[in-house]
Structure 1
Amino acid sequence: MLQQAEVTRWQELDASTVRWILSQSHKQGLSAKSIGLRLVALRQFLAFLVKQGELKVNPTLGIKSPKANKHLPKNIDAEQIGQLLNIDSNEPLDLRDVAMMELMYSSGLRLSELQGLDLGDMDLPNREVRLLGKGNKERIVPIGSKALDAIEQWLAVRGQFHPKDNAVFLNQRGGRLSHRSIQLAMKKWGQKQALDTHLHPHKLRHSFATHMLEASQDLRAVQELLGHSSLSTTQIYTHLDFQYLARIYDLAHPRAKRNKY
């Protein structure tokens, strides 16, 4: 790459040449992450040359690494959520799984929050659950009526598993359900209920966030419900929400409607 830039000595390298090298890397199809790693390696090497007295100034110091493309979280639409949770079974394990999925979608729990949930965290009369999120940050979120019904049905049969601790969700041996077991259970139900997408716990959290934002348009409220410390973390859902608004616009705006004739 230095040869293409016609640089034969490190002393000839300047900031504009470094930017050209990075742009060529992008044209070659390298990802933003790979280009960033190249820049870091080059910056460290040039810093070494400055330290050795070979260079006076490091030409990479004012150059920022390219931003990695944001991968928008995938959500499940409300119709498919209904399809997923339309489970008519009185089997204890099925009741447990329905309660887990209803609660995740109802209240936007992280997988770790669901897995770590204890009976003392549940305030069912007030339809609330206390969660311990990232950085041991505590928050209290409401529980929807359907999730409340599902939880009560599960708690009615929970004793059959001979609980060994206060975990809300148990495995067949009475111990706390593991992260992996929760993931496998949800994957199973996604397949069993014929969803057209792979189901994992975070998809229910993403769907909760997207549907709440579509309905309320209140980004701050969604931030609090999700337990995000920074609003910028929540703002990724505004990109998803824009897709929804664009569909509404196309359907509703007089100048957006296509002529049927």
Structure 2
Amino acid sequence: MSMIAASPLPSEVQRYLEHVRVEKRLASRTHTLYTLDLEKLAQFASGVNVPLLQLQPAHIRRFVAQMHGAGRSSRGIALILSGWRGFFTWAARQGLVSSNPVQGVRGPKAPKPLPKALGVDDAVRLADFHAAGADPWLEARDAAMVELLYGCGLRVGELVGLDRTPGSDAAREGRGWIDLEAGEAHVLGKGGKRRSLPLGAAARQALDAWLPLRGSAGGPALFVGQRGTRLSAQSVWKRLRQRSGQAGLTTPVHPHMLRHSFASHLLQSSGDLRAVQELLGHANITTTQVYTRLDFQHLAKVYDAAHPRARKKPAG
């Protein structure tokens, strides 16, 4: 069975490919990719019965939609468009076209990556971890930080901005405070928006253990370093990364991962998106809705692992 030879590329495309090979000294692999992308463009043009040099932006957008519908990634489409744009830029300099039909055409946006959240078992393992033989002062402080990050969904800036007690506005240095008597944490979030969060039993217990060791020296900050100054966000990142390794977690944990875990696990248990939005301090619920994708992933894994119909092979 003989193979059908591919149609030769238009002469202007061959000239362009020779130009970039010689003038730009493209690597062989890059030159091959340019060739394949322009072959694809020529095929598209042939499919709509339009000469290559008479393509319009509407044609290019149509081609992009076809590639996207066929499963081509956003990044792959962006690279193809870049190659096409380069060809038409050269063609314009040669006087072959009056305008670049690819200019201003953008590929589909890449989906935002899902926030990284720990599994429930790993999150609880980290929260329950106690380092044997560690400095009791450091151990109590770090345990309390983990409980507030995971138990309240705080941002790291909100955590380090907490003061030990309500105090007066004049006396407070931070952007929030702990009210143990009321069982609440008051924080100043993004956009200067204040919110109050309930302290769970584990967080209250951790704070009850930390505050006597923290003492009254060093100002009103809830979390301080060993020199008595308010703890920085960078220090929290470092301590949390170290603690997660000591707890045996394979993934290094950062503060925002615990916030994501708080939201994801709360949504899995309650299904109450509005409540999670309020607790996180999101101004727009669409920001919170990303956690429904995490929740769906969790449910899909449970289904695939447990449901008989998920394991049933289709009849052949």
Tell me the TM-score range normalised by the shorter chain.
Answer: 0.7 to 0.9
**TM-score where L is the length of structure 2:** 0.65
Find the counterpart in structure 2 of residue 226 from structure 1: 280
Indicate if the aligned counterparts of 1:32 and 1:69 stay in contact, CA closer than 8 A: no
Find the counterpart in structure 1 of residue 54 from structure 2: 12
Q: 1:168 to 1:129 in 2, by over 3 A?
A: same
Greater C-alpha radius of gyration: 2
TM-superposed CA distance for 1:108, in Å, is 0.3
Indicate if the aligned counterparts of 2:303 and 2:310 stay in contact, CA closer than 8 A: yes
Question: Aligned partner of 2:151: which letter?
Answer: S
**TM-score where L is the length of structure 1:** 0.78
Q: 1:173 to 1:79 in 2, by over 3 A?
A: same
Q: Does 1:196 align with 2:250?
A: yes
Find the counterpart in structure 2 of residue 51 from structure 1: none
TM-superposed CA distance for 1:158, in Å, is 1.0
In the TM superposition, 1:1-261 aligns within 5 A as 3=13, 4=38, 5=41, 12-19=54-61, 20=63, 31=75, 34=78, 38=82, 65-85=107-127, 86-87=129-130, 91-119=136-164, 120=166, 121-159=177-215, 162-163=217-218, 165-249=219-303, 255-256=309-310
TM-superposed CA distance for 1:30, in Å, is 6.8
Task: Measure the CA separation in 1 of the matches of 2:228 and 2:77.
Answer: 44
TM-superposed CA distance for 1:135, in Å, is 1.0
Find the counterpart in structure 1 of residue 171 from structure 2: none
- Structure 1 residues without counterparts, runs of 5 or longer: 46-53
Identity of aligned residues (%): 40
Task: Measure the CA separation in 2 of the matches of 1:181 and 1:37.
Answer: 44
Q: 1:187 to 1:59 in 2, by over 3 A?
A: closer
Q: 1:21 to 1:206 in 2, by over 3 A?
A: closer
Indicate if the aligned counterparts of 1:99 and 1:154 stay in contact, CA closer than 8 A: yes
Task: Measure the CA separation in 2 of the matches of 1:182 and 1:32.
Answer: 38
Task: Measure the CA separation in 2 of the matches of 1:243 and 1:235.
Answer: 13
Find the counterpart in structure 1 of residue 48 from structure 2: none
Task: Measure the CA separation in 1 of the matches of 2:108 and 2:67.
Answer: 13
Question: Aligned partner of 1:103: which letter?
Answer: L
SS in 2 for 1:129: strand
**Alpha-carbon RMSD:** 3.7
**Greater relative contact order structure (CA < 8 Å, 6+ sep):** 1
- Structure 2 residues without counterparts, runs of 5 or longer: 1-11, 14-37, 46-50, 90-97, 167-176
TM-superposed CA distance for 1:176, in Å, is 0.9
User: Which digits, 9 at most, give the CA deviation of each residue in 1:53-98, with x for residues without a partner?
Assistant: x55x97766x554121221122122222232122166711111000
Q: 1:243 to 1:188 in 2, by over 3 A?
A: same
Task: Measure the CA separation in 1 of the matches of 2:57 and 2:294.
Answer: 37
How many pairs were matched up?
Answer: 244
Task: Between 211-220 and 89-98, report the one with greater CA deviation.
Answer: 89-98
Q: 1:155 to 1:35 in 2, by over 3 A?
A: farther
TM-superposed CA distance for 1:246, in Å, is 2.7
